[in-house]
Structure 1
Amino acid sequence: MAVVGLDHVQLAIPEGGEDQARAFFIGLLGMREVTKPETLSPKGCWFEGGGANLHIGIDPDFRPATKAHPAFLVDDLDELRPRLEAAGFATKGDKPVPGYARFFTVDPFGNRIELMQRL
């Protein structure tokens, strides 16, 4: 037995936050929404982009993930950073990681998001 891949990452949001999630993950990060299976709750939403799968679930006791986070690879970090900042999302650099440019931001709910570009 061995792990053969990563299927998805799930982030929690508060009840009713799906439209804000769509505006951030589709409108700013360029992901696309995919249909959830009918067997699952109609609440929440799923996104994908560049092989990354993100599931957004509703948590009635929501608290943002401020340390744990997904790290998305992007193709133009220099274009993305000012777009996020113009939309009101602060960005913050961190210690260098060899082979990558990167920074952190938060989604509309305070969940930590890392954005990386291979150099």
Structure 2
Amino acid sequence: MPRFHHANLGVPPGLDDAEGAFLVDVLGYRKMDVPPDLAGIARWYEADDGSQIHLSIDPDHRPAARAHTAIEVDEDVERRLDAAGIAYRSGGRGDLAVVFCADPAGNHWELRRHSQTP
């Protein structure tokens, strides 16, 4: 049975710190150590469930027009996006709320959560 391990996203040189702050402060990932041979060209981040986001420094990075990464998040994500000054739009259907945003490198994200029922 397949299980998601990681997505690798491009980031232009000089935006890797901002991208890392987005992953940690807004989405809740933890920064990981990378193998020595990847130092300076990649950064890795991990969620509580073990899934990871890898960032590759790419001088030719161009965000995709439609491709995106979708993850499940908690109810405070809009507050964290506001605090980080990141624009987003919200939508959803039924008990599913969806927030769409772009990270500092322009990569698109779909942040999903189901409403809590008492």
Distance 1:86 1:26 in 2: 13
Say whether the 8 Å CA contact 2:91–2:97 is kept in structure 1: no
User: Where does residue 91 of structure 1 map in the other structure?
Assistant: 88
Q: CA deviation at 1:91?
A: 1.1
Which residue of the partner structure matches residue 106 of structure 1? Answer: 102
Q: 2:68 aligned with 1:66, yes or no?
A: no
Percent identity, aligned pairs only, is 36
Aligned residues: 114
Change (3 A) 1:57 1:90: same
Distance (whole Å) between structure 2 residues aligned to residue 9 and residue 30 of structure 1: 16
Q: Does 1:55 align with 2:51?
A: no
- Once the two structures are superposed, residues 24-59 of structure 1 have per-residue CA deviations (whole angstroms, 9 ceiling, x without a partner) of 111222210011122335323111113221001111
Q: Aligned pair in 2 of structure 1 residues 116, 50: CA closer, same or farther (>3 Å)?
A: farther
> What does the per-residue CA deviation read over 1:35-87, in whole Å, with 9 as the maximum and x for residues that have no partner?
112233532311111322100111121101331111111122xx211321232
The TM-score normalised by the length of structure 1 is 0.82
TM-score scaled by length of structure 2: 0.83
Map Cα deviations across residues 12-32 of structure 1 (whole Å, 9 max, x no partner).
Answer: 010122211121111222210
Once the two structures are TM-superposed, the CA of residue 99 in structure 1 deviates from its matched residue by 5.3
Shift in Å, 1:117: 1.0
Match runs of 1:17-32 below 5 Å: 17-32=15-30
Whichever structure has more strand as a proportion of its residues is 2
Unaligned 5+ runs, structure 2: none
Secondary structure in structure 2 of the residue aligned to 1:33:
strand
Secondary structure at the aligned position of 2:37 is classed as coil
Q: Where does residue 74 of structure 2 map in the other structure?
A: 75
